[in-house]
Structure 1
Amino acid sequence: MSVAQGHVIGDNSNRITLRFGISGVEYDLTAQTSPPHPPFRANNATLTYNGTDQLHSSASFNGRIGPDIFEFNFDNGVVARGHLDTPVVPAQMIQGTGVWRQ
């Protein structure tokens, strides 16, 4: 498995943006989530994946935000996780869908 570094930002509604750099290329995912979540940021996030072919087209995930970490488990085996810059209390379970772009 390969690991990439990046960051994740959640606004205060139902949108999350993930951005990771892999071999000089930025991979971004903007996802719509439910239920709505509080704002959060993780500036030191990791993405674990088998190959960049997993980071194309649409993606669905389930995950948790808070209190100190986030973790999103994608249907295709990709995992994004990291420590939140500030705690999110109470922790919240979410699900989301989005599209990976370069």
Structure 2
Amino acid sequence: MSDPYEPAHPAGGNELALVALVVAVGNVVFGSFLGLFVPLVPAVITVIVVVLGHVSLAQIRRRGQEGRAMAVSALVIGYLGIAWVLVLLVLALTSAAMGMAILGF
């Protein structure tokens, strides 16, 4: 028998997981365009998506809610975005170093 003083688990899915997934997909769709004008914004949004994904997973585990698939999907998109930003950063630094070497600096 359950404890009558234990708070009831909220029914339904975790809202934060949904927010994380919507922001992640929005960042993929609109982030490349926005990155042309303000390059740092999509990278910051990607980090925010990862944080939201981890927080929502913790809430899902603690509260017994649904939405684990949405949170994991947001995390996968977020970590792929971070990897993409790192690849672009390495390519930019490599091309800058090669340009400096060619110019003799």
Structure showing the higher strand proportion among its residues: 1
More helix by share: 2
Q: TM-score range by the shorter chain?
A: under 0.3
Please, what TM-score do these two structures have when normalized by structure 2? 0.19
The structure having more radius of gyration, on CA atoms, is: 2
